[in-house]
Amino acid sequence: MKTHFDINQYIREGAINGRIYTEPDVFTLEMNKIFEKTWVYVAHESEVANQGDYKTTVIGQHPVIVSRGADDGEYYVMFNRCRHRAASVCQDEKGNANFFRCQYHGWTYTNSGDLVGAPFQDGYGEEFDRCKMGLIRVPRIASYRGFIFASLSEDGPSLEEHLGLARPYLDMIADQGIELTAGAQKYAYHANWKFQVENTIDPYHLSFVHKTFFDIQDKKKGVKTNFARMHKQEKVSDLGNGHSLYELADDLGIGALPFNLIIFPNLSFVGSQVRVIKPVSVDYTEVALYPMMLKDATLEENAARLRKHEGFYGPASFGTPDDLEVAFDRVREGLRSGGEEWLIISRGMNREEVNENGVLSGNSSDEVSVRAIYKKWRELVTI
C-alpha cells in the first residue's frame, strides 16, 4: 500500500476517479477500512433456523461460519480456520451438524466452535489447553429484526447506530414475515464490487438498459410508460452511513417491495429479494440473490413470487443479463480505454432537498444514491 493515500485523487465533488474500480491498492484499502471495520451482513436467521444449522460465507476476504449452537441455540460467527494449521473446517454452503471436523488432521470442534478433540493428544504437552483452542469468534455479532451482521472490529458504532434511518425500512421488510428458504441464485462478474452496489439503486438506467422489458409491460397494459414523469414522482434518498432508498411510484412488475434499499456495504433489497455482494478481488465479484418467501403465504403465492423474481432477475430474464452486460462489462471496458479518468455522479446535485432529519433526496433519475455511497466510502477509507 502506498504510504500516502491522497483521497482527492480518487474522489471530488460530483465525480469519482475510475481508478477506484481498478486499482488493487484501493481494493486492499477497502477491505481493511470498510469490510474489516464496519458491520457486514452475514445471514438471515431463517437460514440457521434450527439448533445445529450453519452456513458459510465471507466477511470481506475472510471465510466465516455462521451457526446456531446445537446446545444453546445462540448464533455464532467464527473464522473458518482450523486452530492447528489453518485448513478451513467447513466447506458446505449450509447444513446441520453438531460438529465440524477438520479433514487435515482430524481436530474436531462443536458447531459453536469449542475444540472437543485433537487426535493422539499425548503429542502435546501439559500446557496444551483445549479450552483455548476453539475456532475464533469474530469480535462482534448483532442481529436486527432477523438480519445477522458481524464486525471484525472490536469497537465502533452499534448495529442500530450503523443502520440508523434505514431501520424503519428493515422493519417493514421484517413485518412481512419473510424467510430465506428458497435458496440462492448466484452470478459473478469480472469487475469491481461497487458496480453492483451502485446499480442496485439507479433508476436513471431503467428506460435504456431495460427498454425491452418496459416495452412489453406497456403493451400488456396498453399505456406507454412516461419515464420523465415517473422519475419526477419517485424519490431516491440518502439515509446516511452509505445506505439509500428508492421509493417506487408504481408497481414496475418486478417485485413485491415498494422500495429498493441499499445497506452499505454488502446488502440490499430489491423486488422481493435479499441481495448480497461479495467482493473477491478488485475485478471479480460474486452476487447472491435470496428470494424472500413469506411465512404465512400459501405455496402457490410463494411460487408466484419466485416466478416474478425469475422474470426480471433470473439467468434468462429481462433484467440481470442486461445489467451484467451494460452496467458492469461495458463500464469495465470503457474504463480501460482511457482519455478521461473521472466519472460524473453529479446528476441532481442542483436540486437536492433536505428534510427535517437531514435526509437528502432527489427525483429518481438523480444520482443521490451513488453520492450517498461515496460519502460513506470516503469517510471510511480516510479514517
Type of residue at 170: L
Q: How are beta strands 147-151 and 99-101 bridged, if at all? A: unpaired
CB of 89 to ligand FES, least distance (A): 7
107 binds ligand FES (CB under 6 A): yes
Using CB under 5 A as the binding rule, the residues of this chain from 319 to 378 that contact Fe ion are 323
User: Residue 141 phi/psi, 5° resolution?
Assistant: -140, 140
Task: For residue 150, give the C-alpha cell.
Answer: 458481524
CB of 124 to ligand FES, least distance (A): 12
x/- track of binding to ligand FES for residues 85-104 (CB under 6 A): x-x--------------x-x
CB of 107 to ligand FES, least distance (A): 4
CB of 209 to Fe ion, least distance (A): 5
Closest CB to Fe ion among 74 and 333?
333
- Out of 84, 140, 145, 378, name the contact with ligand FES by CB under 6 A: 84
Q: Which does 323 bind (CB under 5 to 8 A by kind): ligand FES, Fe ion, none?
A: Fe ion
105 binds ligand FES (CB under 6 A): yes
> How many residues belong to the chain?
383
CB of 106 to ligand FES, least distance (A): 6
Q: Which does 105 bind (CB under 5 to 8 A by kind): ligand FES, Fe ion, none?
A: ligand FES
Q: Which does 164 bind (CB under 5 to 8 A by kind): Fe ion, ligand FES, none?
A: none
198 binds Fe ion (CB under 5 A): no
Total residues binding Fe ion (CB under 5 A): 1
Closest CB to ligand FES among 20 and 89?
89
Closest CB to Fe ion among 30 and 323?
323
Q: Which does 87 bind (CB under 5 to 8 A by kind): ligand FES, Fe ion, none?
A: ligand FES
Task: For residue 156, give the C-alpha cell.
Answer: 465502533
C-alpha gyration radius of the chain: 22
Binding site for ligand FES (CB under 6 A): 82, 84-85, 87, 102, 104-107
Binding site for Fe ion (CB under 5 A): 323
